[in-house]
Amino acid sequence: MENRNVVLEKSFDFALSIIAYSELLEKNRKYVIAKQILRSGTSVGANIREAQSAESRADFIHKLKIADKEANETEYWLQLCQYAKSYPNPDQLEDTLIEIKKLLTKIISTSKSKR
């Protein structure tokens, strides 16, 4: 049986959705927010991917904490879009991001307890 890395898969799919949402924002001439969301939203998965090659448990935890910080920043930008009347609603993105943040919290907590 193959071991699935759920947080890696979800963060990759999330990054693809972020790209599509960012492109939608650009079509609506919301360039500044589109760029911010694209940068922080794709960084979540990039840092999770980088953590897979960590040099130590401490390095692994550190990289996942960076991913969590990027997730928090992305959540901020998505909430701005949600409440700004002239922006497309990012509801599904926010739901997925909450799942990723919960996974990150659990993985970080478990990794810290194994030190």
CATH number at residue 87: 1.20.1440.60
Provide the 3-class DSSP secondary structure of residue 87: coil
Tell me what the mean pLDDT of segment 89-111 comes to: 95
Does a structural domain hold residue 115? no
Does a structural domain hold residue 64? yes
Contact, 103 vs 10, CB < 8 A? yes
The answer, as to whether pTM is greater than 0.95, is no
Q: Which domain holds residue 84?
A: 6-108
Contact, 75 vs 91, CB < 8 A? no
Q: What is the pLDDT of residue 1?
A: 56
Q: What is the pLDDT of residue 34?
A: 97
Number of compact structural domains in the chain = 1
Give per-residue pLDDT as tens, 34-75.
999 999 999 999 999 999 999 999 999 999 999 999 999 999
Give the closest residue to 97 by CA, choosing from 21, 25, 4: 21
- Determine the Cα–Cα distance for residues 18 and 85; give it in Å rounded to an integer: 19
Helices in the chain by DSSP H: which ranges? 6-27, 31-51, 57-83, 91-113
